[in-house]
Each structure stands twice: as structure tokens, then as C-alpha cells.
Amino acid sequence: MPLYKEELRYFVRAVLDEDVGNGDLTTQATIPVDAVLSAEMNAREPMVIAGVDIAAKIIQTVDSAIDINIRVQDGTEIASGNTILKLDGNARNILTVERSALNVIQHLSGISTLTRKYVKQIEHTDCKLLDTRKTIPLYRKLAKYASRLGGAENHRMRLDDGILIKDNHIASVGSVKAAVKAARNFGTSASTIGITVECDTLLQAQEAVDAGADRLLLDNMSLDLLKEAVTKYKGRVKLEASGGVTIDTIKAIAETGVDYVSVGRITQSAPAVDIGLDYIR
């Protein structure tokens, strides 16, 4: 579960408050209070599942008596037509909670599915796919959980996870050297990204390496410049390519020899997958 117990409780409550409000008027008006229903949550396209346990928690919060049979675990790649989970219980409560549960699993599975497509483009290389902080506000832990299920590695979760010196930081202090020196003197604890410097040019890359950076974020560089950076700095610092990467360009970028490619699209722009709740009776 990507959320702590209290985080999950808060998230589920917020989801239901947003969608249900004071009650599902249509269901209350049309469905008998004692009616029962069986339903299946089915994939209507190929996908990588993410969020099934969270969807189940949303359902159970509305009605703990609803029987939930989870057929597919998170991280599983399934074909169209596969049943993800089956529900049996009070018809009113199933109808009320349907959209809230579907919204979460469709969105998260969309992220994991798109991420898996990117990963498959570079799996013949040693390059790793990274996600970014480009996420829907308050949805970051869930989005990064879904990207991990798709095969990506998590970059910084938050700004306190490591130092990444970008162009505006450099402009504010005057030079790459001054920014790296200040970061070293700051005495931050070790992180997975060390002191990373965003570089738009090979001149900046050289300055960053000379100043003692641990990692270079090579931003919007051409394939030729990436290859040159790999020739010069591979093994001395970690190399991350970033900026406008798409499913059509990531393969060639990874083949330059960089260690990582970071892609904002996998969490920022992933389309929801098509999952439906089909009623059996």
C-alpha cells in the first residue's frame, strides 16, 4: 500500500466526500433498500493494473459487508476482458461507490500502463526510466506508486529528497561552481541523486563535473550532444537525459548510453484506461 494508514483513511474519505456528498439520490430513489447485486470490474483494453487494493478500500468504507474477490494484483499486465475484481452485496451501496472506485483504479492503471510502454522501449539498454514531480497535487505518492508498478524508478518524491540545481538556482548565485559549492557546504545528508546539476550545454556540464557534482541532468540536448556527454563523463558522474521525452524518442535517447531518462508525461499526461463495472444480476 503506497499510503500510510492515516493517509489512506484521509484519501478515501476525501474521495467519497467529493463524489457522494450526502448520498446518491438517484440510487436511493430507484433501488430497493434490500436489493442485492453481483458485479465484475472488467478491463476493456490491455493494461497494467494499479490501485486495486485502494479501490477495494473505497468500496469497503461505504459498506464493509460487500464481498470483494480480487482476481488481479497490482503490477499485473492483463488483456482486454480480464476480470479485476468481483463484488457481491447491497445494490444501493455498490451503485453509490462505483464511480469513486473506478476513477482511482482507472487513473493509476493509466499511469502504470503508459510507464510500461516507455520501459519496453528501453529494456534492451542499461538505461533506467525515472518519473518526476509532475503530478496532480495531493496525488504524488499514488502516481509514483503506479509508475513503479509500470517499471520506472522514482526520482525525488519531494524537494527535501535531494539537491537538484536548476537554471534559476545557477542564475541566482552567478555560476554552476558557486551553486555546487554552496550545496556542498550546506551539508545535506546523502540521497539517491546526490548533488545533481541541470545542464543545457556541454560547457555547463564540464563546469558541474569540475565543481564536484554527482550527477548531470542533461536537459533538452540533441542525440549528438548526449553521445558526447556520455563519451566524456560516463563513469565519472551519473547522466540523466530529460526534457520533452516521448514514446517515440526515448529509445534513441537511451541508446546514447545515458544512465537515466526522466519523463514527466508518465505521471502528468497518462490517459485513464478503460475499466467498467459490469452487472451480473
List, for residues 41-51, the tens digit of each pLDDT value. 999 999 999 99
Give the pLDDT band of residue 189 (cuts 50, 70, 90): low
Which residue pairs, CB below 8 angstroms and at least 24 apart, start in 221-228?
223/252, 223/253, 223/256, 226/253, 226/256, 226/257, 226/258, 227/256, 227/257, 228/202
Higher pLDDT, 184 or 256: 256
Of the residues 219, 240, 259, 265, only one is catalytic, namely: 219
* Strand order across the beta sheet in which 260-262 lies: 128-130, 260-262, 238-242, 215-219, 195-199, 163-165
Burial degree of 46 (CB within 10 A; 0-12, 13-18, 19+)? middle
Q: Is 5 a catalytic residue?
A: no
Q: How confident is the model at residue 281 (pLDDT cuts 50, 70, 90)?
A: confident
Radius of gyration over every alpha carbon of the chain, rounded to an integer in angstroms: 23
pLDDT at 190: 53
71 counts as catalytic: no
Q: Which of 24, 98, 131, 198 is catalytic?
A: 198
Res. 22: pLDDT tops 70: yes
Whether pLDDT at 191 is above 70: no
Name the catalytic one among 166, 177, 227, 234: 166
Spatial separation of the C-alpha atoms in residues 187 and 9, rounded to whole Å: 36
Tell me, yes or no, if 198 is annotated catalytic: yes
How much is the pLDDT for 188?
Answer: 61
Return the closest-CA partner of residue 52 out of 190, 141, 149.
Answer: 149
**According to the model, what pLDDT value does residue 262 have?**
98
CB 23 within 8 A of CB 29: no
pTM of the model: 0.95
Separation between Cα atoms, residue 278 and residue 281, nearest integer Å: 9
The amino acid that residue 130 corresponds to is L
In this prediction, residue 193 carries a pLDDT of 81
- Mean pLDDT, all residues of the chain: 96
pLDDT confidence bin for 13, thresholds 50/70/90: very high
Look-up of cell digits 497535487: 137
Domains of the chain by start residue, with CATH: 5-118+270-279 (3.90.1170.20), 153-262 (3.20.20.70)
Nearest-angstrom CA–CA distance, 273 and 106? 5
pLDDT digits (tens, 9 = 90+) for 122-177: 999 999 999 999 999 999 999 999 999 999 999 999 998 889 999 999 999 999 99
pLDDT at 186 > cutoff 90: no
134 classed as catalytic: yes
Summarised one tens digit per residue, pLDDT across range 56-81 is 999 999 999 999 999 999 999 999 99
- Is residue 128 flagged as an active site residue? no
Three-class DSSP category at 4: coil
Helices (H), the chain: 5-20, 25-30, 52-62, 91-122, 140-150, 167-173, 176-186, 202-211, 223-233, 250-254, 265-268
Q: Give 84-129 pLDDT, tens digit per residue.
A: 999 999 999 999 999 999 999 999 999 999 999 999 999 999 999 9
At 1, the pLDDT band (50, 70, 90 cuts) reads: confident
Q: Which residue of the set 86, 117, 134, 234 is catalytic? A: 134
